[in-house]
A and B are shown apart, each in its own frame.
Chain A
Amino acid sequence: IKFDAGTLLLSTHRLIWRDQKNHECCVAIPLSQIVFIEEQAAGIGKSAKIVVHLHPAPPNKEPGPFQNSKNSYIKLSFKEHGQIEFYRRLLEEMTQRRWENMPASQSLQTSRGSQPGRVRAVGIVGIERKLEEKRKETDKNISEAFEDLSKLMIKAKEMVELSKSIANKIKEKQGDITEDEERGGIMSLTEVYCLVNRARGMELLSPEDLVNACKMLEALKLPLRLRVFDSGVMVIELQSHKEEEMVASALETVSEKGSLTSEEFAKLVGMSVLLAKERLLLAEKMGHLCRDDSVEGLRFYPNLFMTQS
C-alpha cells in the first residue's frame, strides 16, 4: 500500500489518514502516542511537512500497515495545502489532551475503515453533552434555591393564617359549648397537633410551626393560651380555664379514694394520663398532696403531714 494520496483528519483522540480513492482504507494513530511535532517548511521541489515523533509502540497496538519500524517518527507531507492550519490544530489537541478525559468510542481498523465524519462527531458530541449536563445542573441549583425561599414564604403565611383561623373558629363558636370545653378546657399540645393536622389534611404543620403559632395566641388576644408546666409538658388551655381550681377538686377525688396513681385518676376524671399527672404534680407543688414512690409505682395521697398534727 502506498500512502501518498489521501486526506488527513484530526479528532480529539486520533490522527487519521484516509486514502483519496479508496475511502475504505484508513489508518490511524492515537494522539497519546505522539511525543512532539515539528514543522518542516516547504522548499523548492519539497512540500511542507509535519514530523510526528512517536512513543515506542505499546504491546497492545492495533494491527496496522507495519508491524514495526526502525524510525520513531512519521512524516506528514502536505502536497497541496493545509500544513500551517493543520499544525496549529494538531498542536492545540496535543496541548489540550482531551483524549484523557473522554473515552474513545471504538478502535479503528484498516479493514473496517470508519467514516471520518462520525469519528469527529463523537468527540464534539461528547463535549456538547457535557456542556448540556452542566447547564442543567446549574439550572437545577438555581431553581432549588428559589424553592427554599418560596417555601419559607409559604410557612410564614401559614402561621399567620393559622392564628387567624383559630381566632375565627372561636368567634363562631362563642356562646355554645365548644369541643374545647368538652375536653375540660385544656389540651396537650400533641393533641392539638394531631387535631389540627388531621383537619388540614394537606400542607401539614410541623411541630415547630405549631409551637410558634401558639406562642402568639396571648399576644393576639385570643381566648386561648399556651402553658408550659415545670416538667416541660406544653398545653393549650382556655383563658377561662383555671388549673389551680381543678387542683382543689383533684384533692377531693384523691381523698375519697385514699390514694391514686396518675392512671387511676385519669380514668376516674376522664382525662389523658399526661394531663392527669400534671394536675396531680401541681397539687403536690401547692402542698395539697404528697407522694408515695415505691416499686409498686407512684401514688398520691392527701398531704397529711400538713393537715395532721
Chain B
Amino acid sequence: MAMSFEWPWQYRFPPFFTLQPNVDTRQKQLAAWCSLVLSFCRLHKQSSMTVMEAQESPLFNNVKLQRKLPVESIQIVLEELRKKGNLEWLDKNKSSFLIMWRRPEEWGKLIYQWVSKSGQNNSVFTLYELTSGEDTEGEEGSRLVGVS
C-alpha cells in the first residue's frame, strides 16, 4: 500500500542541502524542509524517529544527488518543526523525537467533523470503534495511530 513518494523539486536542488546564509532565502528553505519532513513521515507512517536514523534516512540524505543535510542543519529543521507544534522531543538529550504530521488540534478538528457528519454527536465512542469500525474505514481516522 506504499504510495510512491513524490519528492518536491527542492529535493533535487543541491542548495537545498546547504543552510542558506541569506535570511529570507533561509526562511523559504526551512519551510520547504518542514513540509517535506511531515509528508515523508506521513507516507511512511513514521510517528517517531531518532536523529541518527534521520541522518541516514533518504529524507535528509539524497544519495543520487550526493548531498546530505549536515546534522547541525537537521537540528535546525527539527527545531522549526517543534516551534510549529509538529514535533516533540522524547528525551532530554534530544536524540529521538515524536513527529506529528497532523497536530493534535488538527486531529481534534477532523474527528469532530467526522462525528458531525455521521450524526453521532453526544455519544460516547470507544477508541476501538473510532479506529476500526465499519463506518470509519477509508477515512483518515482508520490510519490513526497513537492519538493521545
Contact = CB atoms under 8 A, between A and B. Distances in A.
Interface residues of A, number: 16
Contact of A293 (B9, B18, B25): B18
Contact of B20 (A259, A290, A308): A290
B138 interface: no
Given A291-B20, A299-B14, A305 B67 contact: no
Given A305-B20, A305-B32, A308-B9, A294 B14 contact: yes
Contacts of A292: 14-15, 17-18, 67
Interface in A286-304: 287, 290-294, 299, 301, 303-304
B21 A306 contact: no
B67 to A, nearest CB: 6
A158 interface: no
A275 B13 CA distance: 26
Contacts of B61: none
Given A304-B13, A305-B28, A305-B32, A284 B18 contact: no
Chain A's interface: helix, strand, loop or mixed, by majority? mixed
A197 B12 CA distance: 50
A167 B118 CA distance: 87
B19 to A, nearest CB: 9
A70 interface: no
A285 B67 CA distance: 23
Contacts of A305: 10, 15, 20, 25, 28-29, 32
Nearest to A290: B15
Contacts of B24: 287, 306
A99 B22 CA distance: 81
A291 B9 CA distance: 16
Interface in A210-257: none
A305 B17 CA distance: 12
A287 B22 contact: yes
A290 B9 contact: no
A304 B13 CA distance: 9
B14 A306 contact: no
Nearest to A308: B9
Interface in B73-106: none
Contact of A306 (B9, B28, B66, B67): B28
B18 A294 contact: yes
Nearest to B68: A294
Contact of B21 (A291, A294, A299, A301): A291
Contacts of B9: 304, 308
A284 B10 CA distance: 18
Interface in A253-294: 259, 284-285, 287, 290-294
Contacts of B21: 284, 291
A306 B21 CA distance: 14
A299 B28 CA distance: 19
Contacts of A308: 9
Determine which residue in B13, B22, B24, B67 has the highest number of CB atoms from chain A within 10 A of its CB, and name it: B22
Interface of A: 259, 284-285, 287, 290-294, 299, 301, 303-306, 308
Interface of B: 9-10, 13-15, 17-18, 20-22, 24-25, 28-29, 32, 66-67
8 contacts: A259-B14, A290-B20, A291-B20, A294-B67, A304-B13, A305-B10, A305-B15, A305-B28
The 3 closest A-B pairs by CB, nearest first: A292-B14, A305-B28, A293-B18
Given A294-B67, A305-B15, A308-B9, 11 more contacts: A290-B20, A291-B21, A292-B67, A294-B14, A294-B17, A301-B15, A304-B9, A304-B15, A305-B20, A306-B24, A306-B28
